[in-house]
């Protein structure tokens, strides 16, 4: 992809000990709320400290009492809520009666969260730069679009055995096309999401793969057909040709280390590239043998948007894995030119999310769930609308909740 820029088990002990602060509006002092220990401010806001193990129950209880959750923040080891500085007029969160403990004890149990930088400190980045790229070699270049499909998409495998190019799933590499631009200068690099695992398609640590659609559009003034420089260069590349590679780059789309995590993947077109790498790592026999410390046991759910059935990239691979692991891998297609949405229009990813909003929301609420969105930027608003509607049923404001899970909500769109 060109890049210009069955549920898992119970939460771990560390996750279960974490505390979150709900800010709730809409509750008023009455006979029911008098039974609670939560101080209600004149503004109508309530601040409730909730252990991870009771998050869902509290959401449901608040909704029953007419409340609306406007923010959710994780508490740090010093008892403060991340992203919120308490003022003198705002009461400190108190522990619910059924989970009452001295606040100092709760503070001691709350683990200190690592930053993204600390979590990914060992991820390789920029081993090769534009002024000194790695020279790889094209091993194969195969068409992925079936007969009757729209456009051309190629799967390319490059030999990188002669250098030190290392990468992990979810990263990208840069490609510098041959030739010069209209000013006589060398072409600038383009970034593409890697479509193979860290071990490569041959599981020998000697290759890297890309999924590339040939960019083609009409010039707005002349009406002439314009072809993308780098995508055309790659789609026409012959096996044996040299290729200039930079990188790897990117830490936004990395998989969690937890093999029991739930992984929701939403892709359009060549946005499938990083998800192919994820799925190979999770389910391919040779990958499982090569990664004894990572044996996936969670749920992987792919929601894939394409225009026609022949445009389902890697269709045989995907459906083979689903047949082999029906309890752990689920595929949902949104085929825009063949399927209709509820209003009778074309079916896009956002419409699938609306249909399955409650299921998605129930997964996203879980601490072990990571959501990845890759492909066309236009799908983001529709996904947010679907999640907003589903979260509202639990009295939760989606945008506030989304900010609280930014380490589990990964987006790479263009």
Point out the residues that are catalytic: 192-193, 374, 412, 414
Give the Cα separation of 204 and 344 in Å (integer): 48
Residues in contact with 400: Cβ distance below 8 Å, sequence separation at least 6, in sequence order = 69, 70, 71, 72
Number of Cβ within 10 Å of residue 152's Cβ equals: 16
191, 203, 220, 223, 278 from 246: Cα distances, Å: 9, 21, 32, 34, 22
Place of tokens 């549920």: 7
The span from the CA of 101 to the CA of 220, in Å, is 66
Longest dimension (CA), the chain: 78
Tokens of 124: 């390789």
User: How many angstroms separate the CA atoms of 354 and 357, rounded?
Assistant: 5
Residue 44: helix, strand or coil by DSSP?
coil
Taking CA atoms, 211 is separated from 73, 152, 154, 270, 273, in Å, by 38, 11, 6, 6, 6
């Amino acid at each position: 992809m060109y890049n210009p820029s069955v549920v898992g088990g119970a939460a771990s002990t560390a996750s279960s000990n974490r505390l979150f602060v709900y800010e709730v509006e809409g509750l008023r002092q009455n006979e029911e709320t008098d039974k609670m220990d939560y101080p209600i401010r004149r503004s109508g806001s309530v601040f409730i400290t909730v252990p991870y193990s009771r998050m869902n129950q509290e959401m449901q209880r608040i909704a029953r009492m007419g409340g609306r959750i406007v923010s959710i923040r994780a508490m740090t080891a010093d008892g403060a809520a991340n992203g919120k500085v308490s003022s003198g007029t705002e009461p400190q969160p108190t522990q619910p009666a059924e989970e009452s403990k001295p606040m100092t004890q709760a503070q001691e149990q709350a683990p200190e969260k690592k930053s993204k930088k600390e979590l990914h400190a060992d991820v390789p980045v920029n081993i090769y730069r534009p002024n000194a790229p790695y020279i790889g070699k094209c091993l194969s270049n195969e068409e992925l679009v079936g007969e009757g499909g729209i456009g051309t998409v190629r799967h390319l495998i490059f030999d990188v055995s002669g250098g030190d190019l290392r990468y992990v799933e979810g990263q990208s590499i840069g490609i510098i096309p041959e030739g010069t631009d209209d000013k006589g200068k060398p072409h600038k690099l383009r970034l593409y999401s890697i479509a193979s695992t860290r071990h490569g398609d041959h599981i020998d640590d000697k290759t890297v793969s890309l999924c590339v659609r040939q960019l083609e559009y009409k010039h707005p003034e002349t009406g002439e057909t314009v072809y993308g420089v780098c995508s055309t260069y790659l789609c026409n590349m012959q096996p044996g040709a040299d290729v200039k590679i930079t990188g790897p780059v990117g830490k936004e789309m990395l998989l969690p280390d937890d093999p029991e995590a739930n992984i929701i993947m939403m892709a359009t077109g060549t946005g499938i590239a990083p998800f192919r790498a994820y799925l190979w790592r999770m389910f391919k026999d040779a990958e499982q043998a090569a990664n004894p410390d990572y044996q996936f046991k969670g749920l992987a759910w792919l929601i894939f948007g394409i225009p026609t059935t022949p445009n389902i990239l890697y269709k045989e691979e995907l459906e083979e894995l689903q047949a082999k692991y029906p309890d752990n891998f689920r595929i949902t297609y949104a085929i825009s030119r063949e399927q209709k949405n509820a209003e009778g229009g074309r079916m896009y990813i956002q419409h699938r999310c609306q249909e399955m909003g409650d299921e998605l929301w129930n997964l996203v609420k879980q601490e072990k769930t990571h959501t990845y969105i890759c492909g066309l930027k236009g799908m983001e608003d529709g996904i947010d609308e679907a999640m907003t509607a589903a979260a509202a049923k639990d009295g939760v404001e989606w945008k506030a909740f989304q900010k609280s899970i930014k380490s589990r909500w990964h987006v790479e769109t263009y």
